[in-house]
Chains A and B, each alone.
Chain A
Amino acid sequence: MRAAWIIAMKDLALRIRDRSLFVLAIIAPLVLALVFDVVFGGTVGGEDAGLDLSFGVVDLDAGPLSDSFVSTLDSIAADGLATVTGFGSSAEAVAAVEAGEVAAAFMLPAGMSAGYLAGGGAEIEIVGDVDAPTTVGIATSIADGFASASRTGAMAAATALAGGAIGPGDMAEVAVEAAAAPPPVTLGNIDAVTRQLQPPTSFVAGLAIFFMFFVAGAGVTSMLEERSEGTLGRLLVAPIGRGSILAGKSITSIIIGVGSLAILVVASAYLMGAEWGPPLGVAGLVVSAVLAVVGLMSLVGGLARTPEHSANLQAIVGVTFAMLGGTFVPIAPGEGILATLQYLTPNGLFVRGLGDLAGAGVSAAVPTMLSLLAIAAVAGVFAVVVVARRLQR
Chain B
Amino acid sequence: MGGNGPVLEAVGLRKRFGDLEAVRGVGFTIDPGETYGLLGPNGAGKTTTISMVSGLLEKDAGEVTIAGLPVTTTALEPKRLVGLVPQEVAIYPDLTARENLRFFGRLYEMTGKALAQRIDEVLAVIGLSDRADDRAKDFSGGMKRRLNIGIGLLHRPALLILDEPTVGVDPQSRNAILESIEELSAEGMAVLYTTHYMEEAERLCDRVGIIDQGEIRAEGTRRQLVESIGEQDRLRIEASGPLREVSARLGELPGVTGTSAGDGVVEVLADDGGAILSPALALLAAAGVAVSSVTIEEPDLEAVFLHLTGKALRD
Contact = CB atoms under 8 A, between A and B. Distances in A.
Given A237-B56, A237-B84, A241-B76, A231 B107 contact: no
Given A230-B88, A242-B74, A392-B73, A237 B106 contact: no
B76 A240 contact: yes
B90 A231 contact: yes
Given A10-B103, A239-B77, A230 B90 contact: yes
Interface in A247-279: none
B28 interface: no
Nearest to B88: A230
A3 interface: yes
B179 to A, nearest CB: 24
Contacts of A13: 95, 99
A165 interface: no
Interface string B83-110: 0101011111011000100011011110
Contacts of B80: 239
Nearest to A3: B107
Contact of B107 (A17, A238, A392): A238
Given A6-B107, A10-B95, A392-B73, A237 B90 contact: no
A234 interface: yes
Interface in B66-82: 73-74, 76-77, 79-80, 82
A234 B82 contact: no
B58 A237 contact: no
A129 B26 CA distance: 85
B104 A238 contact: yes
A236 interface: yes
Contacts of A240: 76, 107
Interface residues of A, number: 22
Per DSSP, chain A at the interface is helix
B89 A236 contact: no
Interface string A222-250: 00000001110111111111100000000
A235 B106 CA distance: 12
B90 A6 contact: no
Given A14-B92, A17-B94, A234 B151 contact: yes
Interface string B193-214: 0000000000000000000000
A21 B77 CA distance: 37
A79 interface: no
B92 A10 contact: yes
A392 B92 contact: no
Contacts of B94: 14, 17-18
A237 B82 contact: yes
Contacts, number: 62
Contacts of B79: 237-239
Interface in B40-63: 54-56, 58
Interface string A14-34: 100110000000000000000
Contacts of A236: 55-56, 73
A218 B77 CA distance: 32
Nearest to A392: B58
A237 B151 CA distance: 12
Contacts of B151: 234
Contacts of A234: 84, 86, 90, 104, 151
A14 B107 contact: no
Given A237-B54, A239-B76, A231 B84 contact: no
Contacts of B54: 237
A14 B95 contact: yes
A159 to B, nearest CB: 76
Nearest to A393: B57
Most buried by A among B90, B94, B95: B90
Contacts of B109: 239
Most buried by A among B90, B92, B107, B109: B107
A231 B58 contact: no
Nearest to B58: A392
A237 B75 CA distance: 10
A239 B108 contact: yes
Contacts of B88: 229-230
Contacts of A392: 58, 73
Nearest to B84: A237
| A-B pairs, 9 with minimum CB distance | A230-B90, A230-B88, A239-B76, A239-B79, A238-B107, A239-B80, A237-B54, A231-B90, A237-B84
Given A10-B95, A231-B92, A392-B73, 14 more contacts: A14-B95, A230-B86, A230-B90, A233-B84, A236-B56, A237-B56, A237-B79, A238-B79, A239-B76, A239-B108, A239-B109, A240-B76, A240-B107, A241-B74
Interface of A: 3, 6-7, 10, 13-14, 17-18, 229-231, 233-242, 392
Interface of B: 54-56, 58, 73-74, 76-77, 79-80, 82, 84, 86, 88-92, 94-95, 99, 103-104, 106-109, 151
14 contacts: A7-B107, A10-B95, A13-B95, A13-B99, A14-B94, A229-B88, A230-B89, A233-B84, A236-B73, A237-B56, A239-B76, A241-B76, A242-B73, A392-B73
